[in-house]
Amino acid sequence: MKKGILLAAFGSGTPQGQSTLRLFDERVRALFPGVPVRWAFTSVVMRHRLAVARKKTDSVQKALRKMWFEKYTHVAVQSLHSIPGAEYADLLADVEAMRGPCAGEDGSGQGGFERATVGAPLLDSDEDIRRASAALLAHLPPERAPGDACVFMGHGTWHEGESRYEALSAQVRERDPLVHIGTMDGACTIDDILPRLEAAGMRRAWLLPLLSVVGRHAVRDMAGDEPDSWRSRIVAAGMECVPVLRGTAEYGGFVDIWLDHLGVAFRALDADAGQDRD
> Tell me, what's the pLDDT at 49?
84
pLDDT reading at 6 higher than 90: yes
Question: Are 99 and 72 contacting, i.e. CB atoms less than 8 angstroms apart?
Answer: no
Same domain, yes or no: 20 and 93: yes
> Tell me, what's the pLDDT at 73?
96
Q: Is 155 a catalytic residue?
A: yes
Same domain, yes or no: 154 and 241: yes
Same domain, yes or no: 36 and 106: yes
CATH number for the domain that contains residue 74: 3.40.50.1400
Mean pLDDT of 26-33: 97
The catalytically annotated residue of 155, 180, 217, 261 is 155
Same domain, yes or no: 117 and 131: no
> Tell me, what's the pLDDT at 182?
94
Give the residue from 244, 38, 222 showing the smallest Cα distance to 139. 244
Give alpha helix (H) positions in the chain.
Answer: 15-31, 44-52, 60-69, 86-96, 126-138, 163-175, 190-199, 216, 230-236, 252-267
Mean pLDDT of 102-122: 74
| pLDDT cut 90: percent of the chain above it | 77
Q: How confident is the model at residue 87 (pLDDT cuts 50, 70, 90)?
A: confident
Same domain, yes or no: 82 and 24: yes
Provide the mean pLDDT of the chain.
90
Residue range of the domain that includes 235: 126-246
Question: Among 84-93, 131-140, 178-187, which range has the highest average pLDDT?
Answer: 131-140
Same domain, yes or no: 24 and 73: yes
Rounded Cα gap, residues 164 and 65, in angstroms:
31
The count of structural domains within the chain is: 2
- CA distance readout (Å), 19 to 82, 155, 243: 19, 20, 20
Q: How confident is the model at residue 111 (pLDDT cuts 50, 70, 90)?
A: low
Give the residue from 196, 197, 211 showing the smallest Cα distance to 148. 197
